[in-house]
Amino acid sequence: MLKKHYNKQTCVCFSLVCYVLCTILMLVKVEKVIAATECSSGSKSKARLIEGTLVARDGLRKLYVAVEISLESGWKTFWRHPGDTGGMPPYVDWSKSKNLAVAKIMFPKPKRIKSSIGDVIGYKHHVVLPIKIKPINTNQPIYFVLDFRYGICNKVCIPVYCELKSVIRYSQTNYMPLKLAKALKNVPIAIKPSSPNYPKIIRAELNQKRSTSELIIDALFPRGIMGADLFVESLSKVYLPVTKRIDMPTKNILRYRIDLRDNIDHTSLSTQKLRFTIVSDKISVEIERDFDRYEIPQRP
């Protein structure tokens, strides 16, 4: 009886192992098929398309395609605000696609990368840039064609130009690669300025002096300051230099400073809509707000 019972258990375990292995092989095969095209800049970087689907509670599918960039050690690529070193942010154009109703690119939280000529905002080693897409006709495939341009830097900077293509069938896609799921999780959450229990901007003050002007910003991190940083963009064409952390007033509040250069129209800054990207190890958020809603004392 013991021998017979042991044989049954062995058969059950063997069957489970075979099932798991077959499932893994099927997923690997799917990812190979949907990888479609890729481009490279020698051995320094490679870019390719991957895709995946999230099924919402109402049964509707959220369809994603993403650009996966792999970088050789020592090389970096840029966020949408490249920093103070004059880098090349990603450029995307999907106008050649067919049966594409909507496309929106998203950026996982970036890192501040120190260099001898200034701070870079971007990514090292590897990054996945998700693009949320929607077909015009869900019964027809999306012929996705992406003109993608990005910059990579080490001791020198190189522009990379790619045309990436993939055929995406809305009804058949039911797979979410782990790397794409992780990238989506790392995209900062868009919140309202008054959202409770999230990082927020509690003060933005424009100090104008005879020799220079500066923007002082206090950011609150209610869940702790591990990995904390702040990046600020103007949603118009006004360029803002990278923030510099200057001190820590309290435990979970960090103060940042932006040096406003001579070619910035300081008087128009108060009418700008700004986007604050507040990142940390716990949670990352994005807040869009008119600058004049903060306290802006004018100083001679």
Name the fold adopted by 191-293. Immunoglobulin-like (2.60.40)
Residue 291 pLDDT more than 80?
A: no
Residue 252 pLDDT more than 60?
A: yes
238: tokens are 């006004």
Residues of CATH 2.60.40.1250 domain(s) within the chain? 38-187
Which has more confidence, 230 or 272?
A: 230
Position 151 scores a pLDDT of 95
Residue 23 pLDDT more than 70?
A: no
Which has more confidence, 194 or 146?
A: 146
Which has more confidence, 200 or 54?
A: 200
Question: Which of the four pLDDT bands, split at 50, 70 and 90, describes residue 267?
Answer: low
Rounded-to-5 percentages of helix, strand, coil across the chain = 15, 50, 35
Question: Which of the four pLDDT bands, split at 50, 70 and 90, describes residue 55?
Answer: confident
Q: Are strands 189-191 and 285-290 parallel, antiparallel or unpaired?
A: parallel
Instruction: Please report, for residues 34, 70, 87, 202, the alpha-carbon distance to residue 109 in angstroms, rounded to integers and kept in the order given.
Output: 25, 17, 17, 21
Which has more confidence, 186 or 14?
A: 186
Residue 172 pLDDT more than 90?
A: no
Position 17 scores a pLDDT of 40
Position 90 scores a pLDDT of 96
Q: Is the Cβ–Cβ distance between 147 and 103 less than 8 Å?
A: no
Please give the Cα distance from 264 to 105 (Å, whole number): 28
Which has more confidence, 1 or 63?
A: 63
Select the CATH number that applies to the domain covering 38-187 from these four: 1.10.274.100, 3.40.980.10, 2.60.120.260, 2.60.40.1250.
2.60.40.1250
Average pLDDT over residues 148-169: 92
Residue 194 pLDDT more than 90?
A: no
Residue 232 pLDDT more than 70?
A: yes
Q: What is the dihedral of CA 192, 196, 197, 201, to 10 degrees?
A: 60
Predicted TM-score (pTM) of this structure = 0.82
Position 260 scores a pLDDT of 82
Question: Which of the four pLDDT bands, split at 50, 70 and 90, describes residue 270?
Answer: low
Side-by-side strand order, sheet with 273-279 = 189-191, 285-290, 273-279, 229-234
Tell me the one-letter amino acid at 22: C
Least confidently predicted of 106-115, 142-151, 229-238: 229-238
Question: Which of the four pLDDT bands, split at 50, 70 and 90, describes residue 27?
Answer: very low
Least confidently predicted of 18-22, 104-108, 120-124, 262-266: 18-22
Which has more confidence, 110 or 267?
A: 110
Mean pLDDT of the chain: 82
Task: Classify residue 186 as exposed, middle or buried by CB count within 10 Å of its CB (0-12, 13-18, 19+).
Answer: middle
